[in-house]
A and B are shown apart, each in its own frame.
Chain A
Amino acid sequence: MKPGVRLANAFYVMVLPAFLLFFIFHTIPVIQGIYYSFTDSPGYGPANFVGLRNYIALFTDPRVLHAYWFTFLIAAVATVLVNIVSLAIAVGLNGRIKFKNGLRGIYFIPNVLAILVVGYIFNYLFSNSVPALATKIGIDSLSTSLLTKASTAWIAIVILAVWQSAAFNIIIYIAGLQTVPTEMYEASNLDGASAWRQFRSITFPMIAGFFTINMVLSLKGFLQIFDHIVALTGGGPGTDTESVALLIYKGGFQGGEYGYQSANSVIFFIVIVGFSIVQLRVLQRREVEV
């Protein structure tokens, strides 16, 4: 198109409002957050500049360190599980099955439900139904609620996270599987390749890009885990199941730690970006190799 003056004006008008709104509601908050991270602001009233004190304090605060450890644990386990589960189900749903569309429709359902609301249903299941069921059939280890102990509550959180998130990942994997030409399977069938061999040598390499995307998005999503924990444990018992996002919310809005949690946000941002970049690099290198 000819870049005439009138033409360009219209394009500027198209992007200007979006730019302004984005700047006001995204960039300014980011800058403000960074600014507050160097203050002792409780979230209201005057604040003093404290330099790096918040940042130094973060690294020795057991509650903060625990939140990071807990968030990494959940994110790592859930990311791996979600991808195994959804890839397996997607391969199944892409096979020669009856009721293909109906089954795909069912497996996508969790993605149209609010995590918080589903979480409350799971909360009741974990704290009442599962113990009752376990008592009935005599599994002692499950006869008390998973949610009341920190050592087991994370399992319940991972189960909910995987249940909800698999739905979306399955659809993306199915989209990936449909890009694999069927001729490749026909050829390998003639060569007498087993199903597992076909998966390893054809399917998986062909959808490596989708695997990368799902791994990166899953990890990034689970590192921000919030709704799941609010619905299942509220961060308890004590602060044992607090994720970083929940800690920022609680400390920042209710705990008078606005400046301190702003510093935590900045660290959290660096951590998430760092993880995403490393993961992308590693996974993409693997993509090239296979």
Chain B
Amino acid sequence: MATTLRRRQDGPGINWWLTALLMVLALTIAVPLYFAVVTALKTTDQLGGTGFGLPTDIRWANFADAWRLTDFPRTALNSAVITVGAVVLTLLTNSMVAYAIARNMHRRLFKILYYYFVSALFVPFPIIMLPVAKETAILHLDNRVGLVLLYVVYGLAFNIFIFTAYINSIPQALEEAAVIDGASTWQVFWRVIFPLMAPMNATVGILTCLWAWNDFLLPLVILSDPGSATLPLVQYVFQSQFQTNYPAAFASYLMAMAPLLIVYVFAQRWVISGVTRGAVK
């Protein structure tokens, strides 16, 4: 991939027309974000018109309002705990399950297990949302712990799919060498395989992170205590309660989007290559 890129870039002539066209089209991404920023800085009486004008009188207090109204520290912490929990547990468990399945595909039991997990790719969430909401309530898992658990379980189908494909490309000779040196299956997994899976772990970690942080439907149907609401969920609640205070609402949108956006700006190439790797497998 890197060589093709370099060759193309070094090739004769940069297509400036194409560059300009793509930059203009990129405005479709930039404009809504610009709009969110300027609106978040206005006073309510500066709203109206097309709303694209810069604020004449910047009102930073919108952020303070949004902070207070959405109980931001707590909400952001909920989102962070759920996201981190989902990512860490997914990486530790899904990779292990995939390893056990990938190395035992010749056994019927593991083969069945593989298709059992992967078949969940065809079951869209709306189909199980009613019973799952009921079940988590009965089991007292209608909270952050339950949500983490569900992200780990529902990610399994896709993650097993890409993890096993990756594990199959790792030569078994490495494991055999470790076994001869006296390593147990667990040691082989944690010391040899898990570190070798780093690129796929990055991919799965990124995708799980984006999913858990931005998801709205699962928290909506699972969480019963308003105190454990996540960022997207609280925007939904906020929307009906503070209909008229648009600047504060927009400040809160920005605050909800900011953490992941900031991480993305710094880890951009890494994120994109991670997602690409997931796609090519």
Contact = CB atoms under 8 A, between A and B. Distances in A.
Given A25-B149, A108-B271, A121-B250, 4 more contacts: A33-B130, A97-B18, A182-B7, A245-B217
Leading 4 A-B pairs by shortest Cβ distance: A10-B185, A29-B131, A114-B214, A14-B100
B221 A248 contact: no
A95 interface: yes
Interface of A: 1, 3, 6-8, 10-12, 14-15, 17-19, 21-22, 24-26, 28-30, 32-33, 36, 43, 89, 92-101, 103-118, 120-122, 124-125, 128-129, 132-133, 136, 163, 168, 171-172, 174-175, 178-179, 182, 210, 213, 220, 223-224, 226-227, 230, 244-245, 248-249, 252-253, 258, 261-262, 265-266, 268-269, 272-273, 276
Given A14-B97, A18-B93, A107-B29, A98 B19 contact: yes
Nearest to B27: A106
B108 interface: no
A210 B214 CA distance: 25
Contacts of A171: 272, 275-276, 279
A273 B127 CA distance: 12
Given A29-B135, A30-B127, A116-B236, A15 B18 contact: no
Nearest to B277: A175
A108 B21 CA distance: 17
10 contacts: A18-B153, A26-B154, A100-B9, A109-B264, A114-B231, A114-B235, A120-B235, A172-B279, A262-B130, A265-B127
A33 B47 CA distance: 47
B260 A112 contact: yes
A249 B253 CA distance: 24
Q: Using C-beta atoms within 8 Å of the partner chain, give the interface range for chain B.
A: 35 or more
B246 interface: yes
Q: Interface majority SS on A: helix, strand, loop or mixed?
A: helix
B176 interface: yes
A1 B172 contact: yes
B140 to A, nearest CB: 14
B50 A25 contact: no
Contact of B256 (A29, A117, A172): A117
A113 B97 contact: no
